[in-house]
Chain A
Amino acid sequence: MKKTIVPIGPYHPLQEEPEFFTLTVEGEKITDIDVAVGYNHRGIEKLSEEKTFDQVPFVVERICGICSTSHPLAYVRAVEDIIPVTVPPRAQFIRTIIAEGERIHSHLLWLGLAGHFLGYNTVYMWAWKLREEILDAMEILSGNRNNYAMFKPGGVRRNIKKEDIPPVIKKIDSIISTLTMLKKAVVDDPVLHARTKGVGILKKEDAISYSALGPTARASGIRRDVRKDSPYEAYDKVEWQIITMQSGDVFDKLVVRVLEIFESIKIIKYCLQNLPDTEIDLNLEDIPPGEGIGHIEAPRGECFHYVRSDGTNRPIRHKVRAPTFMNLPTYKSTIVGQTISDATIILAAIDPCYCCTERIAVLNKKGKRIYSGEGLVRLSQEKTEKIRGQLQ
């Protein structure tokens, strides 16, 4: 059959970031994919060599707006690994609360976008409405909706006031009932099953070979979570479970994320109710020469920072590895053999975050089939409609 190349990108109406995919299709089947990144490269690793150890958290916070807690947390842990020191218990608990709050809002954001790609705008609106409650709770705790600026090497910048705890718990409790309803609506929906089950399967061997991380790996049956494997902050003091699924398709990735939200709610509530009463900052002064590694579980997988110090007040090298950097190449094994109308949801399934690593509108090229970005999403939404019609 004749081969057609469908270029997607770099600007797409829904995914927020620019990225360029080249899909090779035969009829409706995708036979190859190539990804071009670099539309988001800002040279942060170089920039952070010009900043002092205390200033770098503000730079790494702006690597990604959704993971604006994971990167500073991994960085401060890397700096603390150079010395090495352990932060006071209250600081550990505050760090855990902020990190889990971010996980909830990130997973809800993905759930909404995934719903939209499948033509379920109701899911999109509901998920994002719930997300607002979490952002409000974070605003009470940290003073900002995103970019919380809570971490510094040796502790946290802000304390949690006693009178702030009840309203935050109330906000978090308020989303549980709606979230349970949303979970049932999403997980038990026959149309959604038809659209996501058996689609974009990532096999266990492939996940290991690509070193896939986070929910992407956990949906393929790999029990890996940095929070359990290498417990940091307060995660070993709280009771919670790793969520794993077996088949590795889009549906499993969805279920893993939804169930993880409930675990995160459990962790936040426990931490808020059992905040130890200690100092929150070690007031570190000099960082000795040496090298340190900080790795933590971000919403999308393991976030890895390597910092080297030469005894001055600036890092001489700071390497950032975001989870999407390892997850993105798995497209090669998930998307090949699938149909073009499933492409959007498979591409979205790993929860890609390109600004961490470094969209879909089809450019007009001579002799090539043209889909607009909207067209591609519409194609996906039409398929859902068709399945819905058949099921009724």
Chain B
Amino acid sequence: MNREQIVKELKDLFKEDIVDFFDKSEKRIYIEVKPESMLKVATHIFKTLKARFNIASGIDTRLDIEILYHFTVEDINLLISLRVKLPKKKSIEIDSLTPIMKGADWVEREIHELLGVKFTGHPNLKRLLLPDEWPKDSYPLRRDYKEWDKGAIRDRGV
């Protein structure tokens, strides 16, 4: 399949799920999808298009939490980024991709602890990087993160 076919197929198959389709350049496509249909679109890209899962990245944009899933279709050198916008509520939830691809396991755990997104269906959603004594509701990559440790030294003493 070439680039045009993939773009057309994605647009046809997921007409209702796509919120925004941004054709940035020859090698990059950004697709914004509804949070509830993300799993469906990602499965199609991973299984049918045989794309490789690169990584997911979470961003706190003050208004909402954005998660981007990056996939590469290697044969035609195309990077597809799926974007989901999750409103900032008390508990932010999205479906986990780990049951489909094992590669998403760690990155979902990372986003869970650094941004506080709950991945439903993740088999082992525990902390990956942060220590056990880290307070429960403090997420370091959130905009409103404040240093909680009173004992921390932040000057060089000169």
Contacts and interface: CB of A to CB of B under 8 A. Distances in A.
B128 A210 contact: no
Interface size class of A (residues with CB under 8 A): 20 to 34
Given A41-B129, A43-B140, A317-B59, A302 B101 contact: no
Contacts of B105: 329
A295 B129 contact: no
A304 B70 contact: yes
28 contacts: A41-B129, A45-B141, A81-B28, A211-B54, A211-B101, A211-B103, A224-B74, A229-B74, A230-B27, A230-B72, A291-B30, A295-B54, A302-B54, A304-B55, A304-B70, A306-B55, A306-B57, A306-B68, A308-B59, A317-B59, A319-B57, A321-B54, A321-B57, A326-B55, A326-B103, A329-B103, A358-B128, A358-B129
B131 interface: yes
Please give me the 5 A-B residue pairs with the lowest Cβ-Cβ distance, nearest first. Answer: A319-B57, A211-B103, A321-B55, A38-B129, A41-B129
Given A306-B68, A306-B70, A319-B57, A209 B52 contact: no
B77 interface: yes
Given A41-B129, A210-B103, A293-B70, A304 B54 contact: yes
B130 A211 contact: no
A37 interface: yes
Interface string A37-48: 110010101100
B79 interface: yes
B102 A329 contact: yes
Tell me if B's interface is mostly helix, strand, loop or mixed: mixed
Contacts of B96: none
Given A46-B141, A211-B103, A229-B74, A37 B28 contact: no
Interface of B: 25, 27-28, 30, 52-55, 57, 59, 68, 70, 72, 74-75, 77, 79, 81, 101-103, 105-107, 127-131, 140-141
Interface string A316-337: 1101010001101100100000
Contacts of A208: 52
A229 B105 CA distance: 26
Contacts of B72: 229-230, 295
B107 A325 contact: yes
B119 to A, nearest CB: 16
A295 B54 CA distance: 10
B129 A329 contact: no
Interface of A: 37-38, 41, 43, 45-46, 81, 84, 208-211, 224, 229-230, 291, 293, 295, 302, 304, 306, 308, 316-317, 319, 321, 325-326, 328-329, 332, 358
Contact of A211 (B52, B59, B68, B128): B52
Tell me if A's interface is mostly helix, strand, loop or mixed: mixed
Contact of B140 (A46, A211, A295): A46
A46 B140 CA distance: 8
A308 B83 CA distance: 13
Which of A224, A293, A302, A325 has the most CB atoms of chain B within a 10 A radius of its CB?
Answer: A293
A210 B54 contact: no
A321 B102 CA distance: 16
Contacts of A211: 52-54, 101, 103
A38 B52 contact: no
Given A210-B102, A293-B70, A325 B55 contact: yes
B128 A37 contact: yes
Nearest to B68: A306
Given A229-B77, A304-B55, A317-B59, A209 B129 contact: no
Given A38-B129, A302-B54, A209 B103 contact: yes
A358 B106 CA distance: 11
Nearest to A217: B52
Contacts of A224: 52, 74
Contacts of B57: 306, 317, 319, 321
A293 B128 CA distance: 25
Nearest to A36: B128
Nearest to B124: A34
A291 B141 CA distance: 18
A45 B25 CA distance: 26
A300 B53 CA distance: 17
Contacts of A209: 101-103
B141 to A, nearest CB: 6
Contacts of B101: 209, 211
A92 to B, nearest CB: 17
A319 B60 CA distance: 12
Given A38-B131, A295-B54, A321-B57, 12 more contacts: A38-B127, A46-B141, A208-B52, A211-B52, A211-B53, A229-B74, A229-B77, A230-B77, A304-B54, A306-B55, A317-B59, A329-B106
